[in-house]
Amino acid sequence: MKNKKSSPFPFGATLYDDGCNFSIHSPDNIVSLIIFTDSENQEYKLKTHDQIVYYTFIPNITSGTQYGFKTIDNDGHSRLLLDPYSHSLSKPLQYNSPLDTEQSWTLSKSIVVDHNFDWENDTAPNHPIEKTILFELHIKGFTQQCPHIAPQYQGKYLGLCQPDIIQFFKQQNITTLQLLPITSFVTESHLKENNLTNFWGYNSVCFMAPHPNYAEKDAVNELKHMVRELHKNDIEVILDVVFNHTAEGDHNGPCFHLKALDKNYYLHNNPQQYMNYTGCGNTLDLTHQASFTLVLDTLRHWVNEYHIDGFRFDLATTLGRDHENFSPHSGFFMAIAQDPILQKVKLIAEPWDIGPNGYQLGNYPDNWHECNDKFRDITKSYWLQQPNFAKNFATQLMGSRDIFSASRWPQKLPVNFISYHDGFTLQDLVSYNDKHNEANGENNRDGHSDNRSNNHGVEGDTNNTAIILLRDKQKRNLMISLLFSFGIPHLLAVDSLSHSQQGNNNAYCQDNPISWADWNLSHINDVFKQWLADIIAIRQQIMPDVIRAFSNENRNKNKITWSNANGTQITPAQWLNIDHFSLHIDLFNHDGELLYLINATDTSLTFNLPKSTKWSMVCDTSTQNIIVKDVNVSYIQHPHSLSVLYRAN
C-alpha cells in the first residue's frame, strides 16, 4: 500500500490524522502486519528496501487498534510477535511454558497509541543533585494496603498521586521517587509453577509499554496523570530500567519478539547459547545498532511522552560493554552525553553485572551517579557488627573519596544507601541475623548471605522493651550516617514506615503482605517516621551548602580534622584500633562548621568540642527527639550513638 507517509522510520506504530505508519527491524525473518478487528483479522504485506526494515502505512487506523507481526518458523507454523516498540499492551502478558506458535496468538497484543495529553504546562522540578533525596518504592507494593486512598487506586499508578500519598511524600521531605520497573514484564515459568509472581518486574518484554497491571483502565494516560500530579508537588520521578536482558531468557526461553526478529540482538557464544552476563539467560548487545537504537529511542520516549526526570540502570555495566570489555567511553555513554534530551536528566548506574570484570564502581563517566555498595556494607558493619571499621566508615562519611574524587563533584556524587529493594529492609537489618527466604521456594538458598545485620539478641519480633529501643537507636544511627554523608541519599520508602519483610532479603517473588507496605504503625514506629521526616528537613538546610563547598574551586581550602574524644588529632596508627572519633569540618571563608561525634563503644564518652563558642545541636541518635539546644566546651555522647552539631558563621 503506497502512501507519502509510508516510511521505514521511526520504528513502531506512528499515528497520524489519516492513519498509522508501521515499521519493524527484522533481518532474520520476513514479517507481515496483523491488524485485529472485531470482525476479522487483516493481514498486510510490508515493504522493504533492504530486507532488514519492513514498513507500511495503513489508512484509517485509530488509537486503540490492536496489532502484531506475523512470521513463519522453519516448520511452517505462523507465530504472532509483539512489536518491540509497543507503546501499550492490550492486557497483562501471561503464558504457559513452552510458548508455542499456537499460544502466541492468544497473548497480549500491541496497541496503537495517541500520546496527546493535557500536561497543564507541566514543568520538571529539576532538583539540584546535592539536594536530591531518593525514595525507592514499588508502584503496587507501596499503596496496596494504604488505608488513606480509595480501594480502586490501591496498588495502581493513580494510587501514587492521591492527595494523602502526595502529602506523605511532602511530609517526609523527599524530592525524588525512584520506581521499581514499570515497563511491561512477565513472570517466569518456574515462578508460576510455584504459584509465585515476578513482583519486582526485572523481566522486561516491551521497553516502552507501561505495565498494564498497575492501571485501572488506561496505563498510558494514568501514568502520565501520575507524573503530572507529582510534578505539581515538586516531586521528581525516576524509572528503574532494565536494558541488560529481556524476558526471552536463554535458548530454551519463550519467544516474544527479538529472538525471531534478529539473532544479533544478543551476544552469542554459539548459535545455541546466549551470553549470560546478567544471570537471566541473555544479554542485550549494545554494540549492535538495532539494540542500541531501541534503547536510546526508549529513553527519549519516556522523557518526551511521560516527562520522566531520570533513570536508574539495572546492571549498568552490561550497557557499557563491547562484548567482554567495559569502557566508560563506550558508544552508549557517549550517545547519552551528546543527546540534547537525555543529557539533561538524572542518570544512576548500578555499577556491576556478573560478567568478566563486572564490578565497575567509580569507573562511570561524569554525570553518572553510581549506587555505592561500599557505603552500605561499611556503614552497616560499623554500627551493627563493630569490627574495626572506623577508618573505612570515616572514609564513607566523607563521600568515599577513595573511589569518587571530590574534583568530580557534584556531577559525580555517589548514591549512598543502607537498604535497597534487594536485601534487608532497615527494620530487618536490626531484627535478624540471618535471611529467611523460605517463602521463595528455594529452600532459603537464594538472596545474599552477607547481610551485616544484627538482631540484638532475638531473631525477629520481640516484646523486650530494651531490645526494641536499641533497634530503634540503631536505625537512627544508620539514617544519620546516610543523610549526613557526602553523597545522594537513597532511602527505601518502606523504611519510613519501619516495614519488615519477616527477614526475607530477596522478596522479588512476593506479591503479598511480605512486600506490601504496612501502614499500621506502632507508637515507636510512628515516632521514627516523624523523626526521619524532621531530620531530612534539617539535612536539606545544611548538607547542600556543605557539599557545594567541597565541589568548587575552593574545595581544598576547607579544613577537615579527625580527633579523639579528648580533642587531640588522630594519628594514622591510632586509626587501626579506634572505636570512636569526631569529625570537624570548617568551611573556607567562615561559611559554616559541621561536627560529628561518633561513639561506637559500650560506655559514654565526653567529647571536648572545638573552640569555646556555642554549637547548635542537629541531632543525637541516643534519643528519639530532635534536640534543639546549644552546646559549649564538651558533650557527653552515650554508647552506640552519634551526634551532629552545626554552626553557621
Give the closest residue to 476 by CA, choosing from 405, 525, 415, 408: 525
- At 647, the amino acid letter reads R
Assign residue 571 the CATH number of its domain: 2.60.40.1180
Q: What are phi and psi of 483, to 5 degrees?
A: -75, -25
579 found inside a domain:
yes
Complete edge-to-edge strand list for the sheet that includes strand 559-563: 559-563, 580-586, 593-599, 641-647, 615-620, 630-631
Residue whose C-alpha cell is 544512576: 348
Pairing of strands 580-586, 559-563: antiparallel
- At 293, the amino acid letter reads T
92 found inside a domain:
yes
In the chain, which stretches have pLDDT less than 50?
1-2
Identify the bridge partners of residue 630 per DSSP, sorted by sequence position: 616
Whole-model pTM?
0.97
Q: Output Rg (C-alpha) for the chain, integer angstroms.
A: 26
143 found inside a domain:
no
Instruction: Write down the pLDDT at residue 559.
Output: 96
* Torsion sign (Cα): 533, 538, 541, 545: negative
Residue 158 CB neighbour total at 10 angstroms? 24
Q: What are phi and psi of 273, to 5 degrees?
A: -145, 140
61 found inside a domain:
yes
Cα angle 37-38-41, degrees, rounded to a multiple of 5: 40
Instruction: Write down the pLDDT at residue 129.
Output: 97
Instruction: Write down the pLDDT at residue 269.
Output: 72
Identify the bridge partners of residue 617 per DSSP, sorted by sequence position: 645
Residue whose C-alpha cell is 517466569: 188
640 found inside a domain:
yes
Dist CA 408 CA 487 (whole Å):
12
Instruction: Write down the pLDDT at residue 2.
Output: 44
389: left (phi over 0), alpha (psi -120 to 50) or beta: alpha
Single residue among 111, 128, 143 that ends a domain in this structure: 111
Q: Which residues are catalytic?
A: 314, 350
558 found inside a domain:
yes
Give the CA dihedral 43, 48, 51, 52, nearest 10 degrees.
-90
CB 577 within 8 A of CB 623: no
Q: Which domain holds residue 81?
A: 12-111
Assign residue 70 the CATH number of its domain: 2.60.40.10
Give the closest residue to 381 by CA, choosing from 391, 366, 370, 371: 391
52 found inside a domain:
yes
Single residue among 111, 137, 159 that ends a domain in this structure: 111
130 found inside a domain:
no
Number of domains in the chain: 2
